[in-house]
Structure 1
Amino acid sequence: MAFLQKTRPSLPRPIFNPLRAACLSLALLTPSGLVASSGLNTLDDAQLRGTATFRYLGFPLYDARLFTSGGTAFSWSQDFGLELKYRRNLTQKALVNSTLDEMARIGRPAPVRDQLQTCFKAVNKGDRYLAVSDGPDAVSFWLNGRKTCTMTYPGIKRSFMSVFLGENTRSAAFTQKLRGQ
Structure 2
Amino acid sequence: MHRRILPALLLAASLLATPSPSLAAISGASERGSAVYRHFGLPIYEARLYTKGGAPLDWNEDFALELRYLRNFTAFDLVESTMRELDRTGGALPVRGQLETCFTDVRKGDRFLAVTNGPDRISFRLNGRQTCTLSHSGITYRFMSIFLGDNSRSQRFTRKLRGQ
TM over 0.5: yes
Q: Please give the per-residue CA displacement for 1:18-61, whole angstroms capped at 9, x wherever unaligned.
A: xxxxxxx79x8374576x72321111111000000000000000
Equivalent position to 1:178, from 153, 161, 164:
161
Please give the secondary structure, in 2, of the residue aligned with 1:41: helix
How do residues 86-105 of structure 1 correspond to structure 2 at under 5 angstroms?
Answer: 86-105=69-88
Please give the secondary structure, in 1, of the residue aligned with 2:87: helix
Equivalent position to 2:47, from 53, 64, 77:
64
Distance 1:130 1:97, change over 3 A: same
AA aligned opposite 2:87: A
Distance across 1 between alignment mates of 2:85 and 2:66: 18
AA aligned opposite 1:52: A
The residue number in structure 2 matching 1:156 is 139
The residue number in structure 2 matching 1:144 is 127
Distance across 2 between alignment mates of 1:38 and 1:149: 17
Equivalent residue pairs, number? 155
Please give the secondary structure, in 2, of the residue aligned with 1:122: coil
Please give the secondary structure, in 2, of the residue aligned with 1:109: coil
Equivalent position to 2:96, from 77, 99, 113:
113
The residue number in structure 2 matching 1:129 is 112
Equivalent position to 2:24, from 10, 28, 41:
41
Q: Please give the per-residue CA displacement for 1:127-169, whole angstroms capped at 9, x wherever unaligned.
A: 0000000000000000000010111000000111010001100
The residue number in structure 1 matching 2:5 is none
Distance across 1 between alignment mates of 2:37 and 2:130: 24
Unaligned runs of 5+ in 1: 1-24
Distance across 1 between alignment mates of 2:17 and 2:65: 12
In 2, are the aligned partners of 1:82 and 1:130 still within 8 Å (CA)? yes
In 2, are the aligned partners of 1:110 and 1:159 still within 8 Å (CA)? no
Distance across 1 between alignment mates of 2:108 and 2:127: 12
How do residues 9-88 of structure 1 correspond to structure 2 at under 5 angstroms?
Answer: 29=12, 31=15, 37-88=20-71
Distance across 1 between alignment mates of 2:103 and 2:114: 11
Larger CA Rg, structure 1 vs 2: 1
TM-score by length of 1: 0.81
